[in-house]
Structure 1
């Protein structure tokens, strides 16, 4: 499909609106720029129209990769807005319960061929793992699925053909 003709998805639109709002909150956009960009983002009908709205705004993506080792993050660590994790055989453990998370929503992409992942959420956080595909693995999301006002929401996507994903809240 021609990129100029590609319809904009709700996810793309939401991401653009969030980036524009974050840029305004960070002081990188004036109120007039905020209003103009939001109008374009909310009325765009194609990805091509949406592109210039966010082209100059940073959208940090931190990538972690391993072939067979473990990827572990726990304690007081900085969680980026977007985290992409790739592992062929290793295990992944992300403990967000005591992490510094400056965003209301974070996106985690998991690309795990044979390994499994455990994501531990802070109290009150919600998660949506509907975008994770498996073949012989399984996805168990034991956290609330609906985002709560003022609380962290974690959106998880990716592929775990033979792996397992467990998402749960921190134990008290």
Structure 2
């Protein structure tokens, strides 16, 4: 029989909590959990009082590679930036909110990425990698035409190189506005 521990358990370090939060953010960015699940688990992480409570949240996250399709459909604002893994098909649905997708620092593994955009009355801004080739031919705009000018600088062959991602943006933009631009660096 082991003797009982003396004193209270050691407090949770800031590093341990940050590591758990980072793992949760990665699972969300990879499409393993929904926005609602991330909010619930983040609340659990931030209010965990013991190491056991803290460790249970990352342990309960799904493992394995993300699917080829990821759907983002909150009621409010959508924002993806910094380093995140882009799935083969990304479905973005927003009735009233604001959408900000920055793919310039994202990990884009598939050679072709389809972004299916269902935008109501909100606005959307999509920043693509500098060397990406953008295709908006399948995009239907209701009120305002999307703002995307490929121009000479971004035509295929100018800044693109073999293996450059091809971003196809399709579906419908209702009363909202869509702006697509290439990253400057």
RMSD: 1.9
Number of positions where the alignment pairs a residue of Structure 1 with one of Structure 2: 114
Q: How does 1:1-172 map to 2 (within 5 A)?
A: 60-67=68-75, 69-143=76-150, 144=154, 146=156, 148=160, 149-172=162-185
* TM-score between the two structures when normalised by the length of structure 1: 0.61
The answer for unaligned runs of 5 or more in structure 1 is 1-57
State whether residues 142 and 169 of structure 1, in contact with CA within 8 Å, keep that contact through their aligned partners in structure 2: no
* TM-score between the two structures when normalised by the length of structure 2: 0.57
The answer for unaligned runs of 5 or more in structure 2 is 1-65
Pair member with larger Rg: 2
More strand by share: 1
Could you tell me how far apart the structure 2 residues matched to 1:168 and 1:142 are?
A: 8
Could you tell me how far apart the structure 2 residues matched to 1:116 and 1:162 are?
A: 9
State whether residues 138 and 163 of structure 1, in contact with CA within 8 Å, keep that contact through their aligned partners in structure 2: no
**Displaced runs of 4 or more, over 2 A:** 142-149
Provide the residue aligned with 1:52 in structure 2: none
